[in-house]
Amino acid sequence: MNPTTPQLVRWLLSITKPVHPPLLVSLVCRIANLILDLVLFGLAAGGVVHLITVGDNVGAIGLALVATALAKAAFYYLEQFTGHYVAFKALELLRTYVYAKLWPKAPAIATHSRSGDVLTSLTRDVDRIEVVYAHTFAPVVSAYIVGPLALIVAGIQVGWDVVWIAGVCLALSLLVVPYVGMKRSLRQTQATLAARRDLGHHVTDSVFGVNEVVGYGREVERLAQADQLGDEVYRLARTPRDFAAFRRGANVALSLIAAPSVVWLGLSNTISLVAIAALAAATIRVFEGPRGIEDSVGYLDHSLAAARRLWDISNAPERVSDGPVELTLESAPAVAFERVSYAYQDADGDLLADTLWGVSIEVPAGGHAVVVGRSGSGKSTLVQLLQRYDDPRLGTVTLNGRPVSDFTLDSLRRNVVAVSQKNQLLATTLAENLRLGAPDTSEQELWDSLEVAGLADEVRAMPEGLGTHAGQNGSALSGGQVQRLCLARALLMRPRVLILDEFTANLNTELEAQIRTALTALAGQMTIVEITHRLGATANADVVAVMDQGRLVEFSGGEVDASML
């Protein structure tokens, strides 16, 4: 369901309730700051004229200016302090809410979203919504309060004959100018952000897939597509920019009409020069309020578009849901894929062509299965179904003959653990990274798992041993060390099914053989499903499945030769 703007606003307000009281404090401080701003400029202009024409009360005027300036500074500080508190607290609330909504949908939501969509929503989109609290609410509300209030006070004090033109200009500035082209700008901004996202995806895919782009000679085509997407962003962004420029020019023109009109009408009504100067200066400053609205309209375009994307992600249906049964396994289970077919979905939720076609594989309890095939043959998709990243379109994935959809997701993923070729490490010590999945593990158990992973000697040789920092995403380690550390971490979780997805990609042949020997010693404790493109990995396998273009083209026990690929 696509929410209306009022529904979207109510949704955001329900999430950010804790910041509403300090937001009101920030609003009150801004109103006081703007009122004192008018008083300060009115005092300054009127004081100068008074000193020129009369020449007395210099000390009193100076004291009034200093007192007003100090009070204005205090309220400005309080406005900024409370405003920034609101902004950062709103960021916390929004991100916490979205993470809570995403957690049950992970990792399927990432695998079914275009690259960067989820990250963009959690960063840029939340930042754009936070702008509503930091730079939109208080400026807009205060503009509609301070401007009319100042006009009413001036009309009562010096007469409506003096300020009626300024009043008309202010009314136009508050009630007409901000809304010129607002709906069209909002629609175009949504389209612009979508086009920017497409451009970002294109650039990201081109950079990370540079080997394929160059290998297939598609450089010119990819650059041309990037230019075309960039031109589309520019075209779509022109309309909001044009309307923003119009609004800015209209407000400047109205302020230039209002201030001279006060002088002209004041002189015509024999108002004192001091009062005329004060009113003219205050009139110029009163248009800072409409200018704040004008800026906020630009922020609002982006904020509402971002909020809609955040709504879509937060309210997207879960791809998979908990089964009714807690999975408990006393020993390694048998794993089976029974005539499994699967198709990914595009960004609109429509099914694409099948990635897997009627795949049937049986792995005996405690066995070692190796799934071999070229890149893109469906190997990784197969094991993701075993972890229930998603459910197959047709067919069933089972453990000991029971569909994995019967089990709760937490219990399933405690028993079925994967070591991926894209491993994630935190910027902390090796010991803390190892304990992520098993926080109560003893130090001796850490060393035992490192021995199996062939990393114990290298860690002992490090000056800080287990206290060595891995760096951001394992930057302090080599690629092979990262893979082996993640293997050791997976073993510490005592899985009953261990998935190895190209886990030897960065290892030399000797080290790979050493680790395979150590894993063989654990035979019977767990069922191993290995994904690889290396034929050598099939030498000691109990089951070998050869995949090609989503189909099972060979299934056998033991080693295969190259002719099977």
Q: Is residue 326 part of a domain?
A: no
pLDDT at 367 over 80: yes
172 CB-side CA count, 13 A: 17
- As a whole-number percent, the residues of the chain with pLDDT over 90 amount to 42
Three-state secondary structure readout of 367-389: CEEEEEECCCCCHHHHHHHHCCC
Same domain assignment for residues 221 and 107: yes
pLDDT at 259 over 70: yes
Same domain assignment for residues 143 and 173: yes
CA 96 to CA 172: how far, in whole Å? 41
pLDDT at 83 over 50: yes
Q: Is residue 443 part of a domain?
A: yes
Same domain assignment for residues 306 and 402: no
Same domain assignment for residues 147 and 271: yes
Q: Is residue 552 part of a domain?
A: yes
- For residue range 171-225, what is the model confidence (pLDDT) as tens digits? 999 999 888 888 888 788 778 877 887 887 788 778 877 777 787 788 898 999 9
CA 69 to CA 47: how far, in whole Å? 14
Q: What is the CATH number of the domain that holds 438?
A: 3.40.50.300
Q: Is residue 324 part of a domain?
A: no
Count structural domains, the chain. Answer: 2
What integer pLDDT is reported at residue 564 of this predicted model? 44
Which of 107-121, 298-312, 369-383 is predicted with the least confidence, judged by mean pLDDT?
A: 107-121
Same domain assignment for residues 258 and 183: yes
Same domain assignment for residues 417 and 453: yes
Q: By the 8 A CB rule, do 19 and 89 touch?
A: yes
Check residue 122 and report its DSSP letter.
I
Same domain assignment for residues 249 and 385: no
Same domain assignment for residues 281 and 371: no
Q: Is residue 330 part of a domain?
A: no
CA 417 to CA 213: how far, in whole Å? 34
Same domain assignment for residues 341 and 310: no
Residue where one domain finishes, among candidates 314, 343, 359: 314
Same domain assignment for residues 148 and 181: yes
- pLDDT confidence band for 560 (50 / 70 / 90): very low
CA 294 to CA 175: how far, in whole Å? 11
Which of 164-173, 297-306, 415-424, 556-565 is predicted with the least confidence, judged by mean pLDDT?
A: 556-565
Nearest to 236 by CA among 192, 200, 280: 192
Structural domain of residue 556, as residue ranges?
A: 335-564
Q: What is the CATH number of the domain that holds 224?
A: 1.20.1560.10
Cα dihedral: 518, 364, 412, 329 (round 10): -80
Same domain assignment for residues 206 and 342: no
Cα dihedral: 175, 178, 180, 185 (round 10): -150
**What average pLDDT does the chain have?**
86
What integer pLDDT is reported at residue 265 of this predicted model? 93
Residue where one domain finishes, among candidates 314, 346, 364: 314
Same domain assignment for residues 256 and 343: no
